[in-house]
Amino acid sequence: MSALAIGLLAGVLCYLMVAHVKARLGYDDSLDAFGVHGVGGTIGALLTGVFASRAINPIFKDAQGNALASGVIDGNPGQLLNHATISSSISRCLTAVAFAATRSFFSSSAPESSPEWWPAKLRN
């Protein structure tokens, strides 16, 4: 049931990002990668921390071996902060690695023989 709630909420928010927010903010995302994958992935990661349940995955246990609350609805609100911190840290690290790998293969500056219409801040 929680997967349906996550899918429904993520779907509605992704639609709003693609149909309304992109036009209002005026950013160029021709394939809607950020509006769909960025927002949908973030919402999915955060709501996993909300709907995590000890009945499905009893990962937290007390000294006697009894399962403790896993998600916000189950009674562990700190799990949402854990999911937000971990998912944003992983995203930032992988983005930095991807940027560094791309930067090592491609230059971000224009060649010295760039035409006059080329933006001045990109010329050497």
Query: Could you report the per-residue pLDDT of 13-57, keeping only the tens digit for each?
Result: 999 999 999 999 988 888 999 999 999 999 998 998 899 888 888
50 burial level (CB within 10 Å; 0-12, 13-18, 19+): middle
Residue 2 CA: distances (Å) to CA of 26, 30, 50, 84, 93: 34, 31, 9, 18, 29
Does some domain include residue 119? no
- Which residue has 């006059």 as its token pair? 116
Does some domain include residue 92? yes
Please determine, for residue 93, whether its predicted confidence score (pLDDT) is greater than 70.
yes
Does some domain include residue 20? yes
Domain total in the chain: 1
Does some domain include residue 116? no
How many Cα atoms sit within 13 Å of 103 on the Cβ side? 6
Q: What pTM does this model have?
A: 0.68
| Structural domain of 69 | 2-105
Does some domain include residue 53? yes
